[in-house]
C-alpha cells in the first residue's frame, strides 16, 4: 500500500535552528528599523523599457537607473564559462568527445565502458 | 504603499527557509534548490529597494542575479555528477575526505 | 761570574728545549731522546751551580722578563725571575737530581726495553722545566701557573704505562687531589691580588712587606668579607696552605702519593720524593714573610706537620712493597719540614728540605735498582740477601737509610734534629701547640728508625726468599753512578749546617746554611724572619743543654727504632710480626681508611648527586620545556576536530557565526533598543 | 667597506658552493672559506679603533648609510668593529674554515648543501658581530638560526628532528622576548632618538633620556627591558634553567655543526648580553647583581655536575660549555677591567677549546662510530696522535696554565673577586671556582675510560689513526689555544680598550 509522504522529524533538523535564529534576529532588526515612505515610480512609467535602456547605457528611459553595459557583457562571459565548466565536469575520462556512432559492435563497446568501467571507476 | 519592512521580512523569511533546507538536507541536489531559494530572496530585496528608491537599477540587477543563478546551478550539477561518480551517492555527509 | 745571573732564564729554558726535542724528534734519536734530556739537565745543573756561587757571593736578581697580560689601567700580570739564596739552593737541588734521574732512566727504562721512551723523556723534560720555572718565580701567579704545570707533568708521568688499568686511575687520583688543593691556592692567589694589588715575593711592592706595613698600620689594604686585616691575612694564608697541603701530600690530601708509585721509579724518585712534593714546602718558605705575620696559620702548619709526620710514619711500618714504605716515609718527612716552618725554624726546614731531597732520591733510586734486579717485583717479602749481589746499591741504600733514620754523622740527623730543636725551644717559649707537635715529631722519629731498618733488613739481609732474589738481574753503570753520587751526598750534606756542634763545642761560623740564607733581600733573609715570628724561645738548662738533650733524645729514639727492627727482622727467616699489633694491623693496612673515605666522597656522594641532578634536569627542566610544547600540540589536536569534512557542519558554523555577528553589531549599534 | 666585502664574499661563497657538484664541494668550500679568514686577518692588521663602539669610541671600518624609513625612525645600515667584536670575527672565520676541513670525513651525502649552509651561517655570524644597527643586527641574529636548523635537522643523528625543532623554537621564542624588551626600551626613549643605531640608543640611555612607557616609570621600564633582554639572551648563552636545548642539539648535530654551535653560536648570546644589557643599562645591571651572580654560579656548578653524570662524550662537552659560559656571566657582572675583559676573552678562548674538544670527539666518532664512554677503552693505544691532542685539549679546558682557558678563567676570577658590585662577590667567585675541580673530575674520568687502559672495542669497525686532514684542524686549534694562553695580550689589550669605557659608566672606580 502506498504511504503518504510524512514529515521526517528528528535530530537532523537541529542545525536548522541556526537558520531560525538568524531569521529571528533579522526580523527583530527589520521590525525595529523605521523606513520613510518609498518614493515609488511615476504613474505609467515604462519600467521594462527603462531596464532595457540601462542595459545599453542609453538614458531614454523614464525611470533613472545606472548603466549596466559592462555587467551585461560580463554576465555573458560567466554563462559561457559555466556552460563550458558543466560540460567539462560531466565528461567521463577517456572520451575524446567524438560523435558516438550507432552501436554496430553488438554492444561490446558499451559493455566494456559500463561494466569494465565499474571496476575502474571505484 | 507597502512599507519596506515587510519586503525585508519576506526576503529574510525566504532566505532562512532556503538556509534551513541547506542545513538539514543531506542530498546535494536539494542543496542546489535551497541555494536557489536564497538567491531569490536576495532578488526580492533588490526589487523592493528598486521600488523604494524609484530607481530601476535594482531590477536590472535582479536580472543579473537570475543569470548568475543559472550559471551557478549549471556548475553545481556538474559537481554533483562528479560527486556521484566518485562516491556513488550524492549524500553530502558521506563525502568527508576533504579534511586534514 | 757577575753576569751569570743574566743566564738564569736559560736554566729553565734548556729542559723545555729538551722537552720539545724529545717530543718532536725523540723517535729518531738514539736512546729515545734521553741524550737531549741528559744534556739539558747537565747544562742547567752547571748554570745552577754557577748561579749558586754568584749568589753566595752576595748577588741577588729580581727582574721581570715577560709581561703576560698588560692591564691598561689595572695591574699588569708578569713573569719574572727571583734568584736569591733560597731559590739558588733549590735550583741546584732540582737540576742535580733531575740530571741523576735522567741518567738513571737510561738504566731503568732503556735497558729494560720499555716502549714510548720519547714520551717519557718529553715528560721528564717538561717537568724539570716547569719545576725550575716554579723555583725561580718572582710572583705568586707565576708560581701558581708552574705549580699546575708540574701537576700536569706528574699526571702524564704517573700514567706513563697507560695501557694497564692501574697507572691511569692513579694519575687521575693524583691530579684530582692536588687539583682540589690548587683550588684553594687559586683563591689565595686571587685574594692576594685583590688585597695587595700585587703578588710579588720581593721588590718594592712585595705583598709580604705590604702585609707587614699594613699590620703596623702604615697603610691600609682592602680586606674582604668584613674581616680585620689580621683575620683576613690568616684566611689568605690558609687558602694558599690548601695548595701546599695538596702538593706536599700533607695530612688530609696525602692519599694520592702512595698511589703515585704506579709510575716508573725514576719518576717517583724525581717527582714524588725530591722536587714536586717539595714545591709546597718551598712555596711556604718563599713567602715566609707573609706567614710569619699570622701566628694562627703558623700553629696550624706546625700541627699539620707534626701530625702528618707521626701519622704517615705509623702507616709506613706495616707496608709490604718497598716503594710504599718510601712513599709514606716521604709524607712523614715533609711533615717534619712543615713542622719546622710552623715552628719558626725557617732555616731548619730549608735544611731538611735539602737533605731530604738527596737521601730520599737516593732511596728511591736504590729501590729502583732493586726493582730492576727483582724483575719489577716490589714485594719485600720476596727479596732478602741482596747485600752480597748488589754491594754498590746496598751501601748507597744503607747511607740513605741512616740519613733517613737520623743517625749522627748522616745528613738526616742534623736537619731533623734542628727542626725538632727549633720546635722544642719555641714550644718551651710559651706555645703549648708546638710542644704537642714536638711530641708527635719525636714519636715519629722512633717509627721512622723502625720502618727504615725493617726495609733494609728485609731487602738486603737474611736469606733470599725467592728464586729471582737468588740471582738478581745485574745493573749497569748508569744505575750505580747516580746511587754513588747521592750516597756521598746523603752522608756529607749534613756538614753544611752542624748547629749542635757549633752550640756545644762553641766552634763559631760552621752554620754555613744560616749565613747563606741571610744573604738575600732584606725582606727575605733568615734573621728578618726570625724577628717576625711570634715565638720566643725558652730553654731547659741553657741553650747548650737544650741542644744536647734534644739531640740525645732524638738519636736515642732513632737507635731504639733501628734496634727493634734489627731484633725482629735481621734474622735469616724473618716473619711478619704484625699479628702482635692485633686490630691496629688492619687499620694500618688500610691507611686509616683515608683512601676509602675520599674515594667514597667522589663516587659515593658526588656521582650520585650528579646522577640525581641529571635525572632532575632531564625530568623537570626538560620536562617543562617539552610540557609547554605538548600543551600546544594538545590544543592543536582539539581544534582539528572542528574540520569534520561534512559540508553541512561548515554551513551551520557559518550561519551561527553570522547570527552572532549580527547580534553583536546590533547590541553595539543599538538596533534593538 | 671591508666588512660589507667580507659578508658579501661569504654569501657568494655559500651560493657558489650550493651549486657545486658534491664531489668537489668539500675542497672548494674549504678554499672559499679561506677568503673570509684572510679578510678578517686584514681587518685585524689594519685595526685602529679605540674605545667602545657603543659609547662614542671611534669604530674601525665603520659605514653608516640611511637605508629605509620606518615611521619616525630611519633605519641605517651601520656596521663597524671595535675591541669586543673583532676577536669574535676572527674566531668565527678561523673556526668555520677548520670546521669545514674537519667535515670532509663525516659528511658523505648532500655535501654541497652542507658546505653551502655552513658558509651561509658564517656570513650571518659575521653580520651579527659587526652590525651596529638594531634592525640589521636582528635580521642577522634570526638568520643564523635557519642554516643551523637544517644542519642539525638533515645531517644529524637519530633524534635530529626533535633536536632541531627544539633548538629553533626555543631560541626563536627567546628572540621574541628579547625583541619585546629592546623595542619597549626604544619606545621609552620616545623621540630623543631618530634611528635604531645602537651607539645612538646607548648614548641616549646614558644621557638619561629614558622616560616611562606603557605606565612604567623610567627605572621600572629599564628593569623590565633588562630582564626581558637578559632572558632572551640567557637562552642563547645558555644559562642554567634555559640550557636543555644545548645537549640535545649538540648530540644530534654532525660534528662540524656542533663545533660551530659551541664555538661561535653560544658567543652570540654572551656578546649580545655585553652589548645590550651590560653596556646600555649599567645601573640596572648593578641592581640585578645578586640574581645574575647566583645564576652564573649555578650554571658553573650545575653544568659541571651534570657533565659528571653523562655517558656520551658529546653531552659531557656540551654540559661543560654550559659551565664555561657561567664563568662569562660571572665576569660580566663583575664590572671590573679583568672581569668584563676576561669574560670577553673567555668567549674567544672557549670558542677555540670547545671547538677543539668537539672535533676530537668527532674524529674518534669517525672511526669508532660511537660516542658512548662505556663502549670503548684504550683508544690511545690505536690513535696516539688524536688521543694526545684530546688530552691536551681536555687540559686546556680544565684551565691548565699557559693555555687560553686558564688566562680567561684567571682574569674572570681576579676581576670578580675584587669587584665592588656586591659585598659577597668573593664568596660567589670562590663558589664558582670550585667548578675547575669538577671540570678536572669529569674530563679525567671520561679520558680514563675512553683513552687509557687496555684496548677493548666491541664495535666491528677497524680502529685506525685519523687521516691527516682530520688531525690538522685539531693541531691548529691546539696551537692557537697555546699561543693565546702564553700571550693573551694578542686580543686582551684591544678588548680592554673597548671594555674600560663601560666600567666608567656604572661608577665602577
**Contact yes or no for A78 and B68 at CB 8 A:** yes
Q: Which residue has the higher pLDDT, D507 or A60?
A: A60
- Above 60 in pLDDT, residue A103? no
- Above 70 in pLDDT, residue A102? no
- Is the CB of A33 inside 8 Å of chain C's CB atoms? yes
D332: nearest Cα among D281, D263, D395, D398? D281
Separation between Cα atoms, residue D171 and residue C654, nearest integer Å: 39
Separation between Cα atoms, residue C36 and residue C17, nearest integer Å: 8
- Above 50 in pLDDT, residue C99? yes
pLDDT in tens, A37-66: 887 787 777 888 888 888 888 878 788 888
Q: Quote the strand ranges of D381-483, DSSP E.
A: 456-457
Separation between Cα atoms, residue C444 and residue C244, nearest integer Å: 21
- Is the CB of B1 inside 8 Å of chain C's CB atoms? no
What integer pLDDT is reported at residue C150 of this predicted model?
Answer: 93
DSSP bridge partners of D78:
D64
What integer pLDDT is reported at residue A101 of this predicted model?
Answer: 56
Share of chain D above pLDDT 90, in %: 65
Contacts of A52 in chain B (CB under 8 A): none
**Contact yes or no for B81 and A64 at CB 8 A:** no
Separation between Cα atoms, residue B36 and residue B38, nearest integer Å: 5
Q: Which residue has the higher pLDDT, D7 or C530?
A: D7
Average confidence (pLDDT) over C537-556: 84
CB pairs below 8 Å between C and D: how many? 146
What integer pLDDT is reported at residue A122 of this predicted model?
Answer: 44
Separation between Cα atoms, residue C399 and residue C415, nearest integer Å: 15
Our CA-based measurement puts residue D100 at a distance from the nearest CA of chain C, in whole angstroms, of 28
Average confidence (pLDDT) over B43-67: 90
- Above 80 in pLDDT, residue B1? no
| C-alpha cell at position C271 | 717527582
- Per-residue CA distances from C561 to C334, C404, C568, D64 (Å): 20, 12, 11, 87
- Is the CB of C194 inside 8 Å of chain D's CB atoms? yes
Q: Which residue has the higher pLDDT, C494 or D292?
A: D292
**Contact yes or no for C671 and A25 at CB 8 A:** no
Average confidence (pLDDT) over D281-303: 92
Q: Are A and C close enough to touch, i.e. 3+ CB pairs under 8 angstroms?
A: yes
- Above 90 in pLDDT, residue D30? yes
Q: Lowest mean pLDDT: which of B89-93, C357-361, D31-35, D122-126? A: B89-93
What integer pLDDT is reported at residue C309 of this predicted model?
Answer: 92
Our CA-based measurement puts residue B61 at a distance from the nearest CA of chain C, in whole angstroms, of 24
Closest chain D residue to the Cα of C623, Cα to Cα: D244
Separation between Cα atoms, residue D299 and residue C616, nearest integer Å: 15
CA angle (C162 as vertex; C157, C168 as ends), nearest 5: 75
Separation between Cα atoms, residue D442 and residue D249, nearest integer Å: 21
Identify the DSSP state of A42.
P
What integer pLDDT is reported at residue C568 of this predicted model?
Answer: 84
Separation between Cα atoms, residue D77 and residue C240, nearest integer Å: 53
Candidates A15, A19, A23, A24: best to mutate against C (most CBs of C within 10 A) is: A15
ipTM score above 0.85: no
What integer pLDDT is reported at residue C474 of this predicted model?
Answer: 78
Contacts of C662 in chain B (CB under 8 A): none
Separation between Cα atoms, residue D162 and residue D156, nearest integer Å: 10
Decide: C189 and C290 in contact? Cβ < 8 Å.
no
Separation between Cα atoms, residue C444 and residue C437, nearest integer Å: 11
Separation between Cα atoms, residue B68 and residue B54, nearest integer Å: 24
Decide: C254 and C261 in contact? Cβ < 8 Å.
no
What is the CB-side half-sphere exposure of residue C145 using CA atoms within 13 A? 25
**Contact yes or no for D302 and C226 at CB 8 A:** no
pLDDT in tens, C300-337: 999 999 999 999 998 888 888 899 999 999 999 999 99
**Contact yes or no for C187 and D429 at CB 8 A:** yes
Which domains are assigned to chain B?
2-88 (1.10.287.3510)
- Is the CB of A9 inside 8 Å of chain C's CB atoms? no
Average confidence (pLDDT) over C559-576: 83
Separation between Cα atoms, residue C426 and residue C445, nearest integer Å: 19
What integer pLDDT is reported at residue A15 of this predicted model?
Answer: 85
Average confidence (pLDDT) over C583-606: 82
In which band, very low, low, confident or very high, does the pLDDT at A107 lie, cut at 50, 70 and 90?
low
Q: What single string gives the DSSP state of each residue in C214-238?
A: HHTTSS----STT--HHHHHHHHHH
- Is the CB of B19 inside 8 Å of chain C's CB atoms? yes
What integer pLDDT is reported at residue D319 of this predicted model?
Answer: 92
In which band, very low, low, confident or very high, does the pLDDT at A105 lie, cut at 50, 70 and 90?
low
Q: Lowest mean pLDDT: which of C499-513, C609-623, D52-66, D209-223? A: C499-513
Candidates C646, C653, C662: best to mutate against A (most CBs of A within 10 A) is: C662
Nearest beta carbon to residue C655 from set B19, B92, B97: B19
What integer pLDDT is reported at residue A98 of this predicted model?
Answer: 59
**Contact yes or no for D434 and C183 at CB 8 A:** yes
pLDDT in tens, C31-64: 778 888 899 999 999 999 999 988 888 888 888 8
- Above 60 in pLDDT, residue A97? no
- Above 80 in pLDDT, residue A119? no
Average confidence (pLDDT) over A80-100: 79
Which residues are CB-contacts of D233 (< 8 A; sequence separation ≥ 6)? D174, D178, D269, D270, D272, D273, D276, D277
- Is the CB of D306 inside 8 Å of chain C's CB atoms? yes
Residue C411: alpha-carbon gap to chain centroid: 22
pLDDT in tens, C158-185: 999 888 888 998 999 999 999 999 999 9
Average confidence (pLDDT) over D104-132: 93
Amino acid at each position: 500500500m502506498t504511504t503518504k509522504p510524512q514529515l521526517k522529524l528528528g535530530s537532523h533538523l537541529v542545525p536548522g535552528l541556526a537558520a531560525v535564529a538568524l531569521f529571528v534576529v533579522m526580523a527583530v532588526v527589520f521590525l525595529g528599523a523605521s523606513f520613510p515612505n518609498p518614493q515609488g515610480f511615476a504613474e505609467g512609467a515604462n519600467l521594462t523599457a527603462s531596464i532595457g535602456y540601462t542595459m545599453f547605457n542609453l538614458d531614454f528611459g523614464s525611470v533613472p537607473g545606472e548603466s549596466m553595459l559592462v555587467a551585461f557583457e560580463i554576465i555573458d562571459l560567466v554563462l559561457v564559462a559555466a556552460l563550458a565548466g558543466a560540460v567539462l565536469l560531466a565528461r567521463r575520462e577517456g572520451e575524446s568527445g567524438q560523435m558516438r556512432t550507432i552501436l554496430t559492435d553488438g554492444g561490446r563497446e558499451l559493455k566494456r565502458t559500463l561494466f569494465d568501467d565499474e571496476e575502474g571507476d571505484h | 504603499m507597502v512599507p519596506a519592512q515587510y519586503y525585508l521580512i519576506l526576503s529574510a523569511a525566504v532566505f532562512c527557509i532556503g538556509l534551513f533546507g541547506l542545513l538539514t538536507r543531506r542530498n546535494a541536489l536539494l542543496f542546489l534548490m535551497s541555494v536557489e531559494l536564497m538567491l531569490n530572496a536576495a532578488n526580492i530585496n533588490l526589487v523592493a529597494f528598486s521600488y523604494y528608491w524609484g530607481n530601476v537599477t535594482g531590477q536590472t540587477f535582479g536580472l543579473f542575479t537570475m543569470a548568475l543563478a543559472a550559471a551557478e546551478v549549471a556548475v553545481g550539477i556538474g559537481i554533483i555528477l562528479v560527486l556521484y561518480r566518485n562516491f556513488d551517492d550524492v549524500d553530502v555527509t558521506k563525502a568527508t575526505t576533504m579534511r586534514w | 761570574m757577575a753576569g751569570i745571573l743574566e743566564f738564569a732564564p736559560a736554566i729553565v729554558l734548556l729542559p723545555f728545549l729538551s722537552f720539545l726535542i724529545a717530543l718532536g724528534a725523540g723517535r729518531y734519536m738514539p736512546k729515545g731522546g734521553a741524550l737531549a734530556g741528559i744534556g739539558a739537565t747537565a747544562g742547567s745543573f752547571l748554570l745552577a751551580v754557577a748561579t749558586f756561587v754568584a749568589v753566595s757571593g752576595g748577588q741577588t736578581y729580581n727582574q721581570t722578563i715577560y709581561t703576560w697580560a698588560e692591564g691598561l689601567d689595572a695591574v699588569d700580570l708578569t713573569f719574572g725571575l727571583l734568584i736569591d739564596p733560597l731559590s739558588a739552593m733549590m735550583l741546584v737541588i732540582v737540576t742535580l737530581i733531575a740530571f741523576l734521574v735522567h741518567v738513571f732512566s737510561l738504566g731503568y727504562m732503556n735497558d729494560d726495553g720499555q716502549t714510548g721512551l720519547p714520551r717519557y723523556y718529553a715528560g721528564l723534560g717538561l717537568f724539570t722545566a716547569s719545576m725550575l720555572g716554579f723555583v725561580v718565580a718572582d710572583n705568586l701567579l707565576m708560581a701558581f701557573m708552574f705549580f699546575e704545570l708540574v701537576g700536569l707533568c706528574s699526571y702524564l708521568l704517573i700514567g706513563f704505562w697507560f695501557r694497564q688499568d692501574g697507572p691511569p686511575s692513579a694519575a687521575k687520583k693524583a691530579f684530582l687531589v692536588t687539583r682540589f688543593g690548587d683550588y684553594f691556592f687559586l683563591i689565595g692567589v686571587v685574594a692576594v691580588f685583590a688585597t695587595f694589588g700585587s703578588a710579588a715575593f720581593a721588590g718594592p711592592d712585595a705583598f709580604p712587606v705590604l702585609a707587614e706595613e699594613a699590620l703596623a698600620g702604615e697603610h691600609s689594604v682592602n680586606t674582604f668579607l668584613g674581616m680585620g686585616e689580621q683575620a683576613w691575612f690568616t684566611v689568605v694564608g690558609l687558602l694558599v696552605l690548601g695548595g701546599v697541603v695538596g702538593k706536599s701530600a700533607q695530612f688530609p690530601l696525602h692519599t694520592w702519593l702512595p698511589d703515585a708509585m704506579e709510575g716508573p721509579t725514576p719518576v717517583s724518585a724525581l717527582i714524588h720524593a725530591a722536587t714536586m712534593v717539595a714545591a709546597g714546602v718551598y712555596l711556604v718558605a718563599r713567602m715566609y714573610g707573609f706567614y710569619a705575620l699570622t701566628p694562627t696559620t703558623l700553629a696550624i702548619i706546625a700541627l699539620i706537620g707534626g701530625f702528618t709526620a707521626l701519622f704517615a710514619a705509623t702507616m709506613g711500618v706495616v707496608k709490604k712493597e718497598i716503594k710504599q714504605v718510601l712513599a709514606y716515609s716521604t709524607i712523614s718527612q715533609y711533615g717534619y719540614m712543615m713542622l719546622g716552618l710552623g715552628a719558626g725554624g725557617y732555616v731548619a726546614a730549608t735544611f731538611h728540605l735539602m737533605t731530604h731531597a738527596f737521601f730520599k732520591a737516593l732511596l728511591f733510586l736504590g729501590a729502583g735498582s732493586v726493582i730492576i734486579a727483582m724483575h719489577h717485583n716490589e714485594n719485600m717479602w720476596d727479596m732478602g740477601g741482596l747485600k752480597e749481589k748488589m754491594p754498590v746499591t746496598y751501601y748507597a741504600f744503607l747511607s740513605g737509610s741512616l740519613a733517613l733514620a737520623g743517625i749522627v754523622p748522616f745528613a738526616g740527623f742534623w736537619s731533623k734534629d734542628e727542626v725538632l730543636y727549633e720546635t722544642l725551644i719555641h714550644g718551651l717559649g710559651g706555645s703549648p701547640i708546638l710542644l704537642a707537635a714536638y711530641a708527635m715529631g719525636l714519636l715519629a722519629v722512633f717509627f721512622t728508625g723502625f720502618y727504615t731498618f725493617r726495609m733494609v733488613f728485609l731487602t738486603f739481609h737474611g736469606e733470599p726468599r725467592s728464586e729471582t732474589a737468588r740471582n738478581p738481574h745485574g745493573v749497569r753503570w748508569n744505575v750505580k753512578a747516580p746511587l754513588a753520587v747521592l750516597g756521598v751526598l746523603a752522608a756529607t750534606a749534613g756538614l753544611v749546617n752542624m748547629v749542635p756542634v757549633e752550640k756545644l763545642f762553641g766552634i763559631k761560623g760552621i752554620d754555613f746554611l744560616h749565613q747563606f740564607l741571610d744573604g738575600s733581600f732584606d725582606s727575605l733573609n733568615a734573621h728578618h724572619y726570625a724577628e717576625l715570628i711570634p715565638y720566643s724561645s725558652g730553654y731547659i738548662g741553657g741553650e747548650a743543654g737544650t741542644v744536647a738533650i734534644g739531640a740525645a733524645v732524638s738519636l736515642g729514639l732513632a737507635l731504639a727504632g733501628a734496634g727493634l727492627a734489627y731484633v725482629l727482622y735481621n734474622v735469616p727467616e724473618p716473619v711478619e710480626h704484625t699479628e702482635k699489633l692485633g686490630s691496629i694491623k688492619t687499620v694500618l693496612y688500610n691507611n686509616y681508611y683515608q683512601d676509602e673515605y675520599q674515594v667514597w666522597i667522589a663516587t659515593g656522594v658526588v656521582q650520585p648527586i650528579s646522577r640525581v641532578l641529571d635525572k632532575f634536569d632531564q625530568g623537570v627542566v626538560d620536562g617543562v620545556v617539552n610540557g609547554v610544547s605538548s600543551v600546544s600540540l594538545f590544543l592543536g589536536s582539539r581544534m582539528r576536530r572542528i574540520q569534520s569534512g561534512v559540508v553541512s557542519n561548515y554551513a551551520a558554523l557559518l550561519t551561527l557565526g553570522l547570527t552572532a555577528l549580527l547580534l553583536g553589531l546590533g547590541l553595539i549599534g543599538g538596533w534593538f533598543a | 667597506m671591508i666588512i660589507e666585502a667580507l659578508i658579501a664574499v661569504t654569501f657568494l661563497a655559500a651560493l657558489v658552493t650550493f651549486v657545486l657538484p658534491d664531489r668537489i664541494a668539500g675542497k672548494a668550500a674549504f678554499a672559499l672559506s679561506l677568503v673570509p679568514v684572510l679578510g678578517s686577518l686584514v681587518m685585524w692588521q689594519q685595526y685602529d679603533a679605540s674605545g667602545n663602539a657603543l659609547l662614542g669610541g671611534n669604530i674601525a671600518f665603520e659605514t653608516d648609510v640611511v637605508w629605509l624609513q620606518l615611521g619616525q625612525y630611519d633605519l641605517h645600515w651601520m656596521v663597524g668593529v671595535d675591541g669586543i667584536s673583532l676577536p669574535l670575527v676572527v674566531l668565527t672565520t678561523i673556526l668555520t674554515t677548520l670546521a669545514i676541513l674537519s667535515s670532509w670525513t663525516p659528511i658523505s651525502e648532500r655535501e654541497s648543501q652542507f658546505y653551502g649552509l655552513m658558509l651561509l651561517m658564517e656570513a650571518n655570524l659575521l653580520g651579527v658581530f659587526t652590525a651596529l644597527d638594531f634592525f640589521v643586527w636582528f635580521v642577522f641574529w634570526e638568520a643564523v638560526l635557519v642554516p643551523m636548523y637544517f644542519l642539525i635537522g638533515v645531517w644529524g643523528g637519530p633524534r635530529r628532528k626533535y633536536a632541531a625543532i627544539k633548538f629553533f623554537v626555543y631560541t626563536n621564542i627567546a628572540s621574541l622576548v628579547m625583541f619585546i624588551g629592546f623595542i619597549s626600551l626604544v619606545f621609552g626613549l620616545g623621540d630623543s632618538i631618530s634611528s635604531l643605531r645602537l651607539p645612538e640608543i646607548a648614548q641616549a640611555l646614558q644621557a638619561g633620556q629614558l622616560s616611562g612607557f606603557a605606565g612604567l616609570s623610567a627605572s621600572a621600564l629599564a628593569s623590565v627591558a633588562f630582564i626581558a633582554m637578559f632572558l632572551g639572551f640567557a637562552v642563547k648563552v645558555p644559562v642554567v634553567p634555559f640550557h636543555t636545548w644545548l645537549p640535545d642539539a649538540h648530540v644530534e648535530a654532525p660534528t662540524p655543526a656542533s663545533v660551530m654551535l659551541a664555538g661561535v653560536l653560544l658567543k652570540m648570546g654572551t656578546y649580545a648580553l655585553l652589548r645590550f644589557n651590560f653596556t646600555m643599562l649599567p645601573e640596572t645591571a648593578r641592581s640585578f647583581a645578586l640574581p645574575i651572580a647566583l645564576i652564573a654560579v649555578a650554571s658553573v656548578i650545575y653544568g659541571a655536575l651534570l657533565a659528571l653524570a653523562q655517558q656520551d662524550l658529546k653531552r659531557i662537552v656540551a654540559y661543560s660549555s654550559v659551565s664555561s659560559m657561567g664563568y662569562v656571566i660571572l665576569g660580566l657582572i663583575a664590572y671590573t677591567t679583568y672581569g668584563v675583559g676576561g669574560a670577553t676573552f673567555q668567549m674567544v678562548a672557549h670558542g677555540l677549546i670547545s671547538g677543539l674538544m668537539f672535533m676530537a670527539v668527532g674524529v674518534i666518532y669517525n672511526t669508532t662510530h660511537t660516542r658512548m664512554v662505556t663502549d670503548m677503552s684504550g683508544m690511545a693505544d690505536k690513535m696516539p696522535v688524536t688521543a694526545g691532542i684530546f688530552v691536551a685539549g681536555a687540559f686546556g679546558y680544565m684551565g691548565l696554565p699557559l693555555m687560553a682557558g686558564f688566562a680567561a678563567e684567571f682574569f674572570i676570577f681576579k676581576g670578580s673577586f675584587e669587584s665592588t658590585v656586591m659585598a659577597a662577590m668573593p664568596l660567589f667567585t670562590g663558589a664558582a671556582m670550585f667548578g675547575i675541580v669538577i671540570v678536572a673530575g669529569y674530563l679525567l674520568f671520561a679520558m680514563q675510560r675512553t683513552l687509557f687502559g687496555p684496548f677493548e672495542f666491541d664495535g666491528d669497525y677497524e680502529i685506525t689513526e685519523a687521516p691527516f686532514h682530520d688531525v690538522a684542524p685539531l693541531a691548529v686549534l691546539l696551537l692557537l689555544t697555546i699561543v693565546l694562553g702564553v700571550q693573551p695580550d694578542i686580543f686582551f689589550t684591544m678588548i680592554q680598550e673597548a671594555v674600560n669605557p663601560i666600567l666608567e659608566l656604572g661608577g665602577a672606580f
